[in-house]
Amino acid sequence: MKFIFRWVREKGDTIARLKDTPASIARGVGIGTFFGFVPVIGFKTLLSMGVTKLSRGNVIASVIAVTLHDLFLPFALPILKVQYNVGMWAMGRGDKIPHNLSIEAPIVHHFKFSDFWTMGFHSATMAALTDLRHAGGPTLLGSVIVSIPLGLVAYWFTLKTMTRIRLRQAAEAAKEV
């Protein structure tokens, strides 16, 4: 457990040492946090880097923020369930408010990788794609709805922290002169 805290601290120190404005670094962290919680596996880092570059944020800070999201992997299934429920609620297909996590997806069956051997590759692939079609839209919409406030909080926290760090560095530099 200590190595996780040490790793997070090292990444935080790396962000603090970046030679960029606090706003640019905060944009990178906010965008990286946003894409970290959107389930676009394999494209998170690339999307984060592209959007960060377009918004003139710090790309390194964005990549670090996407990587820090991987600490939440043990909680991926509950997070995806919340995102799915929020998406179903936003689409008007859920009859409960988002904080009630009892909404089930009757369309989605429990797909197992062993189905590739028992059903055949083509049939199992089609079953998985059918599940993705029914559950993917609400999950993606819910993830965007959940990720926007998380990205904004990460932006605000990083902006305040980086501004404080830069002011402290300037004060230390003024003492040395």
Give the number of domains in the chain.
2
pLDDT on residue 152: 95
51 and 70 inside one domain: yes
pTM to 2 decimal places: 0.74
pLDDT on residue 55: 94
- Digitized pLDDT (tens) for each residue of the chain, 177 residues in all: 787 788 778 887 888 888 889 999 999 999 999 999 888 877 888 999 999 999 999 999 999 999 887 777 777 778 888 888 888 888 887 655 445 444 444 444 454 555 544 555 545 445 545 555 667 778 888 899 999 999 999 999 999 998 998 888 888 888 877
35 and 53 inside one domain: yes
pLDDT on residue 96: 54
6 and 70 inside one domain: yes
52 and 64 inside one domain: yes
20 and 49 inside one domain: yes
67 and 152 inside one domain: yes
113 and 68 inside one domain: no
70 and 156 inside one domain: yes
pLDDT on residue 116: 47
70 and 104 inside one domain: no
68 and 154 inside one domain: yes
**Structural domain containing residue 151:** 2-74+147-176
135 and 157 inside one domain: no
pLDDT on residue 119: 52
63 and 98 inside one domain: no
Estimate the crossing angle of helix 121-176 against helix 76-90, to 10 degrees: 100
- CA separation for the pair 145, 131 (Å, rounded): 21
pLDDT on residue 155: 95
How far from the centroid of its chain's Cα atoms is residue 115's Cα? 30
Residues 6+ apart with CB under 8 A from 24: 56, 57, 58, 61
pLDDT on residue 97: 46
